[in-house]
A and B are shown apart, each in its own frame.
Chain A
Amino acid sequence: METFSLTIDGIPVAAQHGQTILEAARTAGIYIPNLCADPDLAPYGACRLCVVEVDGARGLPTACSTPATPGMVVRTDTPNVNMVRRGVVELLISDHPEDCLTCPRNQHCELQKIAAYVGVREQRFRKLHRPPIVDDSNPFFRRDLSKCILCGKCVRACAEILNVGAVNFINRGYRTYIGTLGERPLVESNCESCGLCVEVCPTGALASKNGKAPSREVNTICGYCAVGCGIKLGVRGQELVGSTGDPENEVNHGNLCVKGRYGYGFVNHADRLTSPLIKKDGDFVKASWDEALDLIAENFGKHRGDAFGVLSSARCTNEENYLIQKFARGVMGTNNVDHCARL
């Protein structure tokens, strides 16, 4: 793609046609604060944090919605820009609860980050109180509208990326809030619980009910359907505590469904089998591995050939399936091997 050059804060920056100022800045490693912009969503221009000055342009255009053009001279740190930015952050803080330490989004909150960037140290405006509407109906995440900054990311992601449109804006002016059709609890709406809204929410308005943050993440593939989405499993010790879509994965590009994001709980479930069991007189009795394997070898040995059947698993890895059919054919001497492909 053809590139051209523009200047941001005196630094020459290369950009591609179709890029916005914000995208050009991001590529060049220049941070312009923003709350409602998202690379996967159409420009929205509502938070007003990414305002910049452009030589020759009137007013303060938003970097997220203004296309970069060749030779453009952009300034991101002028008195007017800073005035609007600071004002916006102060207004947002004035309209936001101050329970940061116990907020599920603490330290991952975009509003915190931007308040720190702008350097807000005092609260000039009075505290406003957004209606404390809480929707606790979804088992995986919670909506607390007192923390909503109305960036619209959840609404837009649900509509633009998912084409579900479970939530939308209700009312206007300060009374605006985000809710479902008929203002019913989320689980009674057409929400598919995929959790994308939680992922894009910059504040604690949408937050996972799982309080544990992972200590490390492992890139792997979702174990449910055959789409094979890339996921990052969040791990704390020996427990799975979260799952997010892998944006680098070419299959799902970071998107997940409800099972991919929230369906990992069975792994650490108390019902997991943790010992071989041998049925004695109709009841299962715990056995050692050697005991069980010896018993199996003894009995399998009696039924080699076509008296033997193997069901492999579409949920096991390629390596395991390969071994199982190799076992069936090479060791047990039968082609009676199949799996649930047809089911």
Chain B
Amino acid sequence: MGIKLRDVIYEVGGGIPDHKSFKAAQTGGPIGGCLPSSLLDLPIDYESLTQAGAMMGSGGLIVMDESTCMVDVAKYFLTFAQSESCGKCVPCRVGSKQMLEIMEDIAAGRGEMEHLDQLQYLSKLLKMGSLCALGGGTPNPVLSTLEHFRHEYEEHILDKHCSAGVCKSLVVAPCQNTCPLGTPVPQYVGLIAKGAFQEALDLVREDNPFPGVCGRVCPRPCESACRRGTVDEPVAICDLKRFIADEVSLPEGSAPVVVAAEDLGKVAVIGSGPAGLTAAYHLAKQGCRVTVFEALPVVGGMMAVGIPEYRLPREVLNSEIRAIEELAVQIHTGMRIGKDIDLDELLARGFRAVFVAVGAHQSNKLGIPGEERQGVLHGTNFLRDVNLNGQLSMAGRSVAVVGGGDVAIDAARSALRLAAREVHVVYRRSSEEMPAQQAEIRAAAEEGVKFHYLAAPKQVLGGNGAVEGLECIRMQLGGWDSSGRRRPEPVAGSEFHLDVDVLIPAIGQSPDLGLFNGNGHGDLVNRGLIMADRRTMATQRPGVFAGGDAVTGPATVIQAIAAGAKAAKSMVRYLKGEELFISPGLPDKTRPPEADSWSPAEGGTARSRMPELDPERRKRDFREVETGLTRQSAVREAGRCLRCDWEE
């Protein structure tokens, strides 16, 4: 009694397996309740559990990770309770049946928001009106998930989407379900398998104007979800996308895009990163005259100034930008919002709507003594310099990069390519927790980057203003935090020195909204981020929409593209005077005749390996490391797809 839920799960139970994160715990069996991570520190006793909407019971403790759908869980427990109902009293017999039907509708994508009110009402009715405790407890799983995971219900109802990929009616295939943009992966992979590369690319480009970029830099969540991974290895989805982008686009030019005949008037997009340009692409296709304003001298946002060339050759990016410009999208560089242009001014100048997608370019500070010294280059600034200033050199310098994300690895490998003598990466947790893509970490290590895990910078050393070294301290992993990772704690007296003269902190970025704030648009900002509706991307100001890193904080290219596409959709509705948000339809799951003839490559067929340059050779310059799949290996790789979308 009184032990914390967290201790039971992590200490007694050994934590969540497979590096997945904790989502919820159900106590009290089918008529208990679901507790979210925010209640992990709840002391377990009769009163506290009851108060939290769960209960003490013999039903065990069911711990659920991110692959659990809370709607599905509540439905499951309700099904159980309903079948255990003795059927005697009306509230339990009919009420729980009504609840179950609603839950089934929600899970099947037939839900409506008023169903949530009905669930609340029925829950109250069962609690107050049932004959016994079973009836009174039956609503608990629904009530507790409604309280703690309401967004999942809304996602099922409004977006017809089940993030966990559990609710079958809403999921075409796990890969597609996991992709923020909902890319029709099985379909384009299927086309590649048939050799229909052009059709495959056209399909991808319907939603995504950056297949070449994504095919190179995407952290490929689709592959983590790929069911082939349970047989042998996931399909190399990302590499296949790069293959069609290279195979079709670059030699023959992009396929023509159909533009709507309708003229929806002028719209402005602020920021030419993946979010802004994707929005511009879709807005133009729908009949908008789009003007993009970019603060930097180059177009592409983080794609141009964040990602190093050895991962994303500029001509790949530029050809995809050119294809957008061909839709009559005007791009003005060197135009910074709040300085060169103002939101109100744009609206006054006849832009009927504005999409703000200024990204998150400002590196976070380490907050340690000596951070102001010369030789401290913040991650994003450093990468921008690398990309914009061809003269930059690190020859003979010894560099320490602090952080474990993609920016840190990009900075480290770039520094190496700028002839740094040695490059260290200091990360406060162990390698397993490192958020950067594993392939990137591996590549960096191959190139000679030295990793210092379980270490944190303590102060920047130096005499007359320049960096002369970095004092670090060893860390050890302590208790579990809410993300399910163990919290790093300093080991007293374990300080050590790194003999470096350049320090690149890369521990995260934030949007630079200073100018935005200063121009009377502070109402659009909260906690350093622009506030926008997560479905419509609308801000609280009519006609002003926002998306990408500026709204979410630093995220991936594909998330930014998804935000841009979503924003374009609701902006078009706005321009047409329609409801901003309309729930999408349910996926069409009818099985085409060809499905019967699909036979995936048999189990154990190895995944095609992306060929790459030799580490010793590649680390000297910014040539692209990965060289792309051959036609033969691409077609063979595509043949490994299980076509989950055709599952019966």
Contacts and interface: CB of A to CB of B under 8 A. Distances in A.
Indicate whether A and B are direct neighbours in the complex (CB within 8 Å): yes
B443 interface: no
Contacts of B95: 87, 91
A95 B87 CA distance: 13
Interface string B49-85: 0000000000000000000000000000000001111
A47 B101 contact: no
B581 to A, nearest CB: 25
**Mostly helix, strand, loop or mixed at chain A's interface?**
loop
Given A128-B97, A174-B82, A46 B128 contact: no
A45 interface: yes
A48 B87 CA distance: 13
Contact of B129 (A84, A92, A125, A171): A84
A83 B124 contact: yes
Interface string A119-148: 000001110100000000000000000000
Contact of A128 (B88, B98, B124): B98
Contact of A172 (B83, B90, B125): B83
A124 B118 contact: yes
B121 interface: yes
Contacts of B86: 172-173, 176
Q: Looking at A46, A47, A91, which has the most chain B CB atoms within 10 Å of its CB? A: A91
B39 interface: no
B89 A174 contact: no
Contacts of A125: 98, 118
Nearest to B88: A46
Contacts of B124: 83
B91 A173 contact: no
Contacts of A269: none
B89 A46 contact: yes
Contacts of A48: 89-91, 129-131
A84 B83 CA distance: 22
A124 to B, nearest CB: 7
Nearest to A51: B129
Contact of B101 (A84, A126, A149, A176): A126
Q: Looking at A45, A92, A125, which has the most chain B CB atoms within 10 Å of its CB? A: A125
A174 B87 contact: yes
Interface residues of B, number: 27
A175 interface: yes
Contact of B128 (A59, A128, A171): A59
A174 B94 contact: yes
B286 to A, nearest CB: 37
Contact of B85 (A87, A126, A169, A172): A172
Nearest to B122: A87
B96 interface: yes
A176 B91 contact: no
B84 A172 contact: yes
B93 interface: yes
A128 B101 contact: yes
Given A124-B118, A152-B88, A172-B85, A84 B96 contact: no
Contact of A94 (B85, B98, B131): B98
Interface in B119-140: 121-122, 124-125, 128-131
**Those 5 A-B pairs whose CB atoms lie nearest each other, nearest first:** A176-B87, A87-B125, A84-B129, A174-B97, A91-B94
25 contacts: A47-B89, A47-B90, A48-B91, A48-B129, A48-B130, A83-B124, A84-B91, A87-B91, A87-B121, A88-B90, A88-B91, A91-B98, A92-B94, A94-B98, A126-B102, A128-B97, A128-B101, A149-B90, A150-B93, A172-B84, A172-B86, A173-B82, A173-B96, A174-B87, A176-B86
